[in-house]
Amino acid sequence: MNIIELLEANKGFASKLYKGLLKELVEKGQKPIATIVSCSDSRVPVEIIFNQFRPGTFFAIRVAGNVISDSSVKGSIEYAIMHLKTPYLVVLGHTECGAVKAYLAGINEGEIGKLVSNIKVESKELSKAVIENVDSQVKRVSEMDCVKEALDKERIEVYGMLYDLREGKVKCLSKNGVSCGRGTK
Residue ranges binding Zn ion (CB under 5 A): 39, 41, 97
Closer Cβ to Zn ion, 121 or 156, answer by number:
121
- Alpha-carbon distance of 43 to 178, in angstroms, equals 28
Q: Minimum distance between the CB of residue 75 and Zn ion, rounded to whole angstroms?
A: 21
Q: CB under 8 Å to 75, separation ≥6 — which residues?
A: none
Q: Minimum distance between the CB of residue 55 and Zn ion, rounded to whole angstroms?
A: 24
Q: CB under 8 Å to 11, separation ≥6 — which residues?
A: none
SS3 at position 159: strand
Closer Cβ to Zn ion, 5 or 111, answer by number:
111
Q: Minimum distance between the CB of residue 185 and Zn ion, rounded to whole angstroms?
A: 22
- Alpha-carbon distance of 115 to 105, in angstroms, equals 14
